[in-house]
Amino acid sequence: RYCYEKNLAVTPQGGNTGLVGGSVPVFDEIILSTALMNRIISFDEVSGILVCQAGCVLEKLNEYVEERGFIMPLDLGAKGSCHIGGNVATNAGGLRLLRYGSLRGTVLGLEVVLADGSILDCLTSLRKDNTGYDLKQLFIGSEGTLGVITAVSILCPQKPKAVNLAFLGCQSYPKVLETFSTCRAMLGEILSAFEFMDEKCMELVEKHLKLSSPVPGSPFYILIETSGSNSAHDEEKLNGFLEQAMASGLVTDGTVATDATKIKASHRFLLRKSLLGFGALWSLRERITEALTRDGCVYKYDVSLPVAKLYDLVTDTRARLGRRAKNVVGYGHLGDGNLHLNITAESYSHSLLDAIEPFVYEWTARCNGSISAEHGLGFKKKQFIGYSKPREAVQLMRHFKALLDPKGILNPYKMLPSAP
């Protein structure tokens, strides 16, 4: 309210783990931190509905609900420092979206402070509420440009009693796609994650983090997680899938672990023996970002594409850049069609950036993809919104911004392109 009266710009900031500059001031904005708003308000152990303040750290929330037999519906590599309010403000995706959907479906209500300081209390805990417009959806993914999220009501799924993890090697991207189709058909309701990475990712993880792959020598790697309520049932289904995948040549090698970190192996199909447990296998995927950071200057892109064309962008970018790039790698959430394209170089180069942008965005637009799958637009991508949204949609967004923030004090210079 004070800032509104004094015409002072405000940048809301949570864990500050975003990748597009959405929580970073551009000029002289006041940083409004939510770090001290970290109270859990309530948790219903029957429905699994959690109500908490925006500054709660995602990992702490997951620990809290796990003790009560539930889990958070999202899981991110930055879970140890990101805030739930920032997760909602960016509509964060992550590793569990394949199973539990996006935050647009699991967030039941929000408390939001508007630009003039008034409080919009839509902190309902109802799963069904069709009374008028669903106002919370305006603020989910709005990156703090329409209001400051201060509290969240979110539906938490039951904690699975049996979790298995398979780390497998494939010889080509078409084999990865065919494995995914077979996996969905055979694992069905227990499939909770399907991640992929290329061999360049694994090389960087091994080189910079000294982690070892249990399945060396494959051009592509996939990580499959199952979550269910009956370990015998889930293991039977997973074993059946693995037998089929190995027998048909889709998978050349692999290893399996449970959440108890004990490696499991069945003699009915070939699996490489490994000392890596559940957490260590996940680390091979979750710590790719860390390995990239140690490789030099990183140009990061987060796009959604039809899964059949997903890796073509990596191949075409690698061919376009040639020796100008140190490494061009691709990994991500294949089950959601979400590619993380990363290019590393010894140091920042404006000419290299010009070779990457807008090439990556134009390529994505030709495939009817999205230039931002799960990280938002922030400051870095705002001028490229037209590659994914029509002019009429952007104009309507401007109208919403003008209505809810007439003075333009909320997270300025973010998300929407500069006025022509």
State the 10-residue block means of pLDDT for the chain, 420 residues long: 96 91 93 96 96 97 96 90 95 88 94 97 91 94 96 96 92 96 94 94 94 89 92 91 93 82 42 60 89 95 95 97 96 92 95 96 96 91 94 96 96 88
| Angstrom distance (rounded) from CA 241 to CA 238 | 5
Give me the pLDDT at residue 420, please: 63
| Angstrom distance (rounded) from CA 21 to CA 377 | 8
Give me the pLDDT at residue 260, please: 56
Q: To which H or E segment does residue 288 belong?
A: helix 288-293
Calculated CA dihedral for residues 80, 234, 273, 95, nearest 10 degrees: -30
Distances (CA, A) of 106 to 42, 162, 189, 320: 16, 22, 18, 40
- Please say whether the structural domain 296-388 has been given the CATH code 3.30.70.2740: yes
Q: What are the structure tokens assigned to 154, written together? A: 């979110």
Parts of the chain belonging to CATH 3.30.70.2190: 162-285
Rounded to two decimals, the pTM is 0.90
> 1-155, which class in CATH?
alpha beta
Parts of the chain belonging to CATH 3.30.465.10: 1-155
Give me the pLDDT at residue 258, please: 75
Strand partners, 27: none
Which amino acid, residue 384?
A: F
Give me the pLDDT at residue 77, please: 81
Distances (CA, A) of 249 to 109, 185, 267: 47, 17, 17
Q: Which CATH architecture has domain 162-285?
A: 2-Layer Sandwich (3.30)
Parts of the chain belonging to CATH 3.30.70.2740: 296-388
